[in-house]
Amino acid sequence: MGKTVLLIEDEQNIIEAVSFILSRDGWEVKTHANGQNAMEAVRAREPDVVILDVMLPGKSGFDILSEIRAEAQFASLPVLMLSARGQAKDLEMAERAGANRYMTKPFSNAEVLDAVRALVPS
Amino acid sequence: MGALNVIVLVSLIYVALLFCVAFAADRAAARGRGTWLRSPIVYTLSLSIYCTAWTFYGAVGFAARSGLEYLTIYLGPTLVMVGWWWTLRKMVRVGRSQRITSIADLISSRFGKSNALAVCVTVLAVIASTPYIALQLQSVTISFAAFAAVDPTHTGEISETGVALWVAIGLMVFTILFGTRNLDANERHHGLVMAIAVEAVVKLFALLAVGVFVVWGLAGGVEQTLARIDASAIARWEVPGSRWVGLTLLSAAAFMCLPRMFQVMVVENEDEAHLRTASWAFPTYVMLMSLFVVPIAAVGLDLSPMGANPDLFVLTLPLANGQDGLAVLSFLGGFSSATSMVIVAAIALSTMVSNHVVMPVWLHMTGGSAVISGDVRAVAIRARRLSIMVILFLGYLYFRVSGGGAALAAIGLISFVGVAQFLPALLGGLFWRGANRRGALAGLAVGFAIWMYSLFLPSFGASAVMPQGLLENGPMGLGWLRPQALFGAAGMDPVVHAFMWSLSLNIVVFVFVSLISFPQPVERLQGAQFVNVFDHSAPSGGWTGGLAQSEDLMIMAQRIMGAQEAQALFGEAARAQGMSGYLPEPTPDFLSRLERSLAGSVGAATAHAMISQIVGGASVSVQDLMAVADETAQIMEYSSQLEMKTEEQARTARQLRQVNEKLTQISVQKDAFLSQISHELRTPMTSIRAFSEILRDGGEMPPEGQRRYASIIHDEAIRLTRLLDDLLDLSVLENAQIVLSLQDGQLGPLLDRAAVAAGLTEGGMEMRRDPEAERVWLHTDTDRLAQVFINLMSNARKYCDADAPRLDIRVAESDGQLHVDFIDNGSGIPASQQGTVFEKFSRVSETKAGGAGLGLAICREIMARLGGGIDYLPGQAGGAFRVYLPVGRGAAAEAAQ
């Protein structure tokens, strides 16, 4: 049984692209399309790694990450942040919120795959 | 029964009558009745104390000796009353507002409440008045003697000094009884004034009666009288011009400066308006008094034995002709003249002596401790009574020493010149703010010294006080310093000579010293109050207790709190008391409020001290107080300057902060905009890159998947292009770089074109239009307007969520504006988002796919350029937008300018 990725992202095309890439690599991809209830999704799916968009409807990715880190069982849950905002301060905010990795859109597929693989050692 | 006994009896009855009048008037006044007590006629009659026994008896003697010269004595006051009544009015107003008790008080108050000046004026007044009082005693005495001379039952000489002593004692008792019943010197002596008014009537009546008797009874008619006058020396008497002018001026000056005149004119004044009446009534009275003077003199000279005293013609003419009744009346007239003058003079002088000499000395000796206890009142009254006794005794003493030898008029004139020395300080104080204490003191001293040297001391007769040699050759043989020919002015009348030199040097010194020395703060303050008395005091009818105190408090408060605040505080308090203006009664309530306010500036202890100094009638260190206030004002000014600077800095800081906030806001907006654009651009690019990589890398993939990924790439590329177009469009619109291409067009075809472009003609959405209304012509940039229509139509097409979507396009004209409403039947825009729907990147729903949220922002910019606008119309069935623009040719062009 492969490892589980929870993809929290609102843009339909990107969900489809990332899901395709990771599924082909043997990951089980679960998706959640908005900021609200993201925490419930994390608890319910118990993913091995989370890919988290920053600009989400309802709640920002940074807030969701803070909530994840606030719970002891997810303190070391690997989180990869994706953002369409490429400014330096976003990177800082991500690090402070406890992101393991931060990538700016548009990304290369290989980069995402490598990053997810690196975050979850087999 | 002898005539002398009769006259003694009549005198006693007359005095008893006066007692009754005075007593009744006092009672009426105390009960608040007797408005007749305050009539201008009573005031005018009280002024008649100017006409003393000297006038009653002496004027005839004067006329018999010097012809018409006696008229100058009446002319002076008449000129003052008629031509200078406004000066008197100012004196009365000042007296009122400053609670002045005497002329010494007025002069000292004006010049910084200087006690030295008050003492100086008091001493001078006492010295100058003493001969005058002696003169009255003498006139009463010789009138008794005249009766004694014709009294067959009386044997031997009557003791003149004995009569004078009894008269003096009688006047003393009367004056003490009616003059010192109240402590407050400013309190009017109603009873006394009434008694004086009665006496004024008596003396006028007596003189007129004697006159009538002389003209018609003795001379045998007007014609015979005139013939006698023509035949007498009076007609040929030539009055030297200098003496005429000099005596007129002298009597005018004395009228204003005599302590007793000040007493009745200012202190006893009830109402300023009375002066108006007095200004004609008093001259009339004086004219009547002088009417028969010349006939009596002429007839008296004719009919009396050689060597008869012309001063007594008024009395001796009726006596010699067996008219005993008339003689008694005449005696009463003279008696009235003498007593009223002595009484008022004694009151006026005693007030001055007790206030400015006795009280300060006593307070100094007791160390001021008595101020707290209640004995001030008793002491003041005792001091005043004692002063009256001393003054009358001095008069009696002078009478004894001088022996009553000199002619009555001469003594009167000596007094006049003495009191005239007050004139420069008095008038200067009232009209010249530059006048100061040093000037007044110096002027008075010089004038007084010259008067003593050139007139008063020589008047005792050669060798009496001054050695004969001094009078003839001057001191140490210096001829130009001869007392009666100063600076070589020989050959002048002694009175005119003394008057000229004393007054002119007094004025010169007063002005000169005032100019070269600086006034103290209190003087400046008082100077302003006196000179500008009409600016800040209301001509109130009755005296209101503490207004002067309130004014002092106001001045003090203004210095400490600043004018505006003080005026606000006082004005409010005055209104609360139901008064207008800024001077409330100094009630305990008001005082404690004021104290609290002042305490805020100077501390509680100082504030309390200041107020109690003013309210408690401080006699000490008003200067210190003013100095404190000045210092405080300086400190306040300094701190207010600091405050201003601080405020300036604060204002600059505030402006900086505002600019900073604005910049921050702009920066935040810019950041938000950039990150929005970044997001909008990167999102499609992410899809494009991801799918293109998938396609490039190949691998297992169903063909439909490949097609699907390719079409996503295509769509996202188009979305990207559209976004860039919109951004550019918006940028151009926002920076007003667009050039409108205005043309005429009808609304209908424009909407047709837009509908096609928005895809509404492809079906799927019903359109309801009004072709009739759409015929309206527009002069505008039709392409841009069509762009707005297309945007709204495609929004409706994309977002209308009704089962049978429908778009109503309604056209209406109102107030020169064309309204085009686009109303669909969908769920519309939630109220919470209606406000932001025209903002950049605002999207109603995240789930609904669409543009970047720039369409409506662009519409808004376009409509603004076209001179119209676009609004969301709430309360319609579904989504509803109203586009409005001006109708008519050129409207858009104008708006676009």
Of B50-64, B330-344, B811-825, the range with the lowest mean pLDDT is B50-64
Secondary structure (DSSP) of B46-87: HHGGGS-HIIIIIHHHHHHHHGGGGHHHHHHHHHHHHHSHHH
Shortest Cα distance, chain A CAs vs residue B893, angstroms: 42
Q: What is the pLDDT of residue B126?
A: 87
Residue bearing the bigger pLDDT, B764 or B362: B764
Q: How far is A94 from chain B (nearest CA, A)?
A: 16
Calpha distance B597→B267 (Å, rounded): 35
pLDDT at B744 over 80: yes
From chain B, pick out residues whose CB is under 8 angstroms from the CB of A105: 682-683, 685-686
pLDDT, greater one: B113 or B879: B879
Tokens coding B399: 């009478």
For B291-305, write each residue's pLDDT tens digit: 888 888 888 777 777
B450 contacts B501 by C-beta, under 8 angstroms: yes
Q: Which of B19-33, B265-279, B854-868 shows the highest mean pLDDT?
A: B854-868
The DSSP code for B216 is I
CB-based contact (8 Å) between B714 and chain A?
A: no
B541 pLDDT exceeds 70? no
pLDDT at B724: 87
pLDDT reported for residue B720: 87
Where residue B248 falls among pLDDT bands split at 50, 70, 90? Answer: confident
A80 vs chain B: nearest CA distance in angstroms? 16
* Rounded Cα–Cα distance for residues B552 and B462 (Å): 52
Q: Pick from B678, B691, B716: which is nearest to A84 by CB?
A: B678
Q: Which residue has the higher pLDDT, B56 or B793?
A: B793
* Strands (E) located in A1-122: 4-8, 28-32, 49-53, 79-83, 101-104
Q: Which residue has the tokens 């300080």?
A: B425
Whole-angstrom distance, CA of residue B700 vs CA of residue B365: 128
Q: In whole angstroms, what is the distance from residue B256 CA to residue B92 CA?
A: 11
Q: Where are the beta strands (DSSP E) in B456-497?
A: none
User: Which residue is associated with the tokens 């004078």?
Assistant: B164
pLDDT of residue B601: 60
How many Cβ atoms sit within 10 Å of the Cβ of residue B182?
13
CATH numbers and ranges of domains, chain B:
3-436 (1.20.1730.10), 658-733 (1.10.287.130), 738-896 (3.30.565.10)
Q: Give A87's contacts in chain B (Cβ within 8 Å).
A: 675, 678
Q: Do A104 and B682 touch (CB under 8 A)?
A: yes
Give chain A's contact residues with B (Cβ, < 8 Å): 10-11, 13-14, 16-18, 20-21, 24, 34, 55, 57, 84-87, 104-110
For residue A10, list chain B residues with Cβ-Cβ distance below 8 A: 846
Contact B49, B340 (CB under 8 A): yes
The one-letter code for the residue type at B258 is L
B493-502, B505-514, B527-536: which range is least confident on average?
A: B527-536
Helical packing angle, B604-615 and B622-697, nearest 10°: 140
pLDDT of residue B654: 87
Half-sphere exposure of A47 (CA within 13 A, CB side): 27
State yes or no: pLDDT of B500 exceeds 80. Answer: yes
Question: What per-residue confidence (pLDDT) applies to B594?
Answer: 80
The minimum CA-CA distance between B846 and chain A, rounded to whole Å, is 7
CB-count burial class (<10 Å; 0-12, 13-18, 19+) for B698: exposed
Nearest Cα of chain A lies from the Cα of B729 at a distance, in angstroms, of 23
Q: What is the pLDDT of residue B473?
A: 65
Examine the pLDDT at B617 and tell me if it is beyond 60: no
* A50 beta partners: A6, A79
pLDDT digits (tens, 9 = 90+) for A40-70: 889 888 899 999 998 888 888 899 999 999 8
Residues of chain B with Cβ-Cβ distance to A104 below 8 Å are 682
Query: Any CB–CB contact under 8 A between B678 and chain A?
Result: yes
* CB atoms B687 and A11 under 8 Å: yes
DSSP summary character for residue B542: S
- B697 to chain A: which residues are within 8 Å by CB? 109
Rounded to 5°, the CA angle B742-B747-B752 comes to 110
**Residues of B with Cβ-Cβ distance to A55 under 8 angstroms:** 679
Local confidence band at B603 (pLDDT 50, 70, 90 cut-offs): low
Q: Give helix B103-110 / helix B85-97 axis angle, nearest 10°.
A: 80
CB-nearest partner of A106 from B686, B694, B699: B686
Helix (H) or strand (E) holding B539: none
pLDDT of residue B290: 83
Q: Sort residue B601 into left (φ over 0), alpha (ψ -120 to 50) or beta.
A: alpha
Alpha-carbon distances of B456 from A78, B460, B642, B892, rounded to whole Å: 125, 7, 63, 105
Chain A touched by B712 (CB under 8 Å): yes
Distance from CA of B801 to the nearest CA of A (A): 21
> Would you list the domain boundaries of chain A?
4-119
| CB proximity B697 to A under 8 Å | yes
Spatial separation of the C-alpha atoms in residues A8 and A15, rounded to whole Å: 8
Mark yes or no for CB contact B694/A109 under 8 Å.
Answer: yes
Nearest alpha carbon to residue B573 among B585, B557, B588, B562: B585
Give CA–CA dist B528/B49, Å, rounded.
32
CATH for A4-119 is 3.40.50.2300
Picking from A10, A14, A87, the nearest residue to B690 by CB comes out as A14
Beta-ladder partners of B824: B807
Q: Is the pLDDT of residue B605 over 50?
A: no
CB atoms near residue B410 (< 10 Å): 18
Binding-face residues of B in 715-744 toward A, CB within 8 A: 716
Q: Which residues of A touch B679 (CB under 8 A)?
A: 55, 84-85
- Preceding amide of B886 cis, omega within 30: no
Q: If you average pLDDT over residues B322-333, what whole number do you get?
A: 81
> Residue B722: is its pLDDT beyond 50?
yes
Q: In whole angstroms, what is the distance from residue A42 CA to residue A7 CA?
A: 10
CB contact under 8 A, B686 and A84: yes
Chain B residue numbers with beta carbons less than 8 Å from the beta carbon of A22 are none
CB-CB contact of B68 with B233 (8 Å): no
**Average pLDDT of chain B, as a whole number:** 77
* Contact at CB, A14 and B689, closer than 8 angstroms: no
**A112 vs chain B: nearest CA distance in angstroms?**
10
Q: How far apart are CA B855 and CA B84, in angstroms?
A: 92
The residue type found at B738 is I
Q: What pLDDT does A81 receive? A: 93
pLDDT given for residue A8 in this prediction: 93
Termini Cα distance of chain A: 12
% of chain B surpassing 90 pLDDT: 4
Confidence of residue B185 (pLDDT cuts 50, 70, 90): very low
State whether residue B690 sits within 8 Å of chain A by CB.
yes
- Arithmetic mean of pLDDT, B483-495: 67
Q: pLDDT at position B540, please?
A: 36
pLDDT at position B676, please?
Answer: 78
| pLDDT interval class at B372 (50, 70, 90) | very low
What the block records as the tokens of A16 is: 């489809």
Using the beta-carbon criterion (under 8 Å), do A14 and B683 form an inter-chain contact?
yes
End-to-end CA distance of chain B: 124
Q: Which of A10, A17, A87 lies nearest to residue B687, judging by beta carbons?
A: A17
pLDDT in tens, B72-101: 888 888 888 887 777 888 888 877 776 677
Contact status of B685 with chain A (Cβ, < 8 Å): yes
For A9, nearest residue in chain B (alpha carbons): B683
Are residues A105 and B685, on separate chains, in Cβ contact within 8 Å?
A: yes
pLDDT, mean of residues B455-459: 77
CA–CA distance, B360 with B87 (Å, rounded to integer): 31
What is the reported pLDDT for B821?
92
- Beta strand B743-746 with B777-780 is antiparallel
Distance CA B146, CA B312 (A): 8
Q: Do B846 and A10 touch (CB under 8 A)?
A: yes
CA distance B816 to chain A (A): 44
Distance CA B510, CA B445 (A): 10
User: Distance from B762 to chain A by nearest Cα, in Å?
Assistant: 27
- Asked if the model's pLDDT at residue B32 lies above 50, the reply is yes
Show which of residues 824-883 on chain B sit within 8 Å of chain A, judged by CB atoms. 846-847
What amino acid is encoded at B651 in this protein?
R
pLDDT in tens, B388-409: 888 888 888 887 776 655 555 5
**What residues in B contact A21, CB-CB < 8 Å?**
690, 694
**DSSP SS3 for A74:** helix
Size of interface A-B (CB pairs under 8 A): 63
Using the Cβ of B672 and the Cβ atoms of chain A, whether some distance falls under 8 Å is answered with no
Q: Which of B48-62, B555-569, B785-799 has the highest mean pLDDT?
A: B785-799
Q: What is the DSSP letter of B866?
A: T
The answer for residues whose C-beta is within 8 angstroms of residue B798's C-beta and 6 or more apart is B848, B850
Q: Is the pLDDT of residue B892 over 50?
A: no
More confident residue, B100 or B697: B697
Query: Does the pLDDT at position A29 exceed 90?
Result: yes
**What gap in Å lies between CA A42 and CA A65, rounded to an integer?**
11
- CA distance readout (Å), B600 to B89, B572, B606, B607, B833: 40, 18, 10, 9, 56
- Rg of chain A over CA atoms, in angstroms? 13
Average pLDDT over residues B723-742: 82
User: What pTM, to 2 d.p., does this model score?
Assistant: 0.54
Structure confidence at residue B728 as a pLDDT band (50, 70, 90): confident
- Say if strands A79-83 and A101-104 run parallel, antiparallel, or are unpaired: parallel
- The pair of structure tokens assigned to B48 is 């008649």
Alpha carbon of A85: minimum distance to chain B alpha carbons (Å): 6
Cross-chain CB nearest to B675 (options A21, A34, A85) = A85
Specify the DSSP element, H or E, that contains B374. none
More confidently predicted of B12 and B737: B12
Phi-psi region of B362 (alpha: psi -120 to 50; beta: other; left: phi over 0): alpha
The Cα of B723 is separated from the nearest Cα of chain A by a number of Å equal to 16
Going from the C-alpha of B79 to that of each of B73, B88, B253, B256, B777, the distances in angstroms are 11, 12, 10, 11, 95
How do residues B630-663 score in pLDDT, each as one tens digit?
556 666 667 777 777 778 888 888 888 888 888 8
- Round the CA-based radius of gyration of chain B to a whole number and report it: 51
Q: Among B99-113, B609-623, B807-821, B836-850, which is the least confidently predicted range?
A: B609-623
Q: Which among B674, B687, B720 is the top mutation candidate for probing chain A, defined by the most A β-carbons within 10 Å of its own β-carbon?
A: B687
DSSP state at residue B219: S
Which range (B45-49, B111-115, B209-213) has the least confidence? B111-115
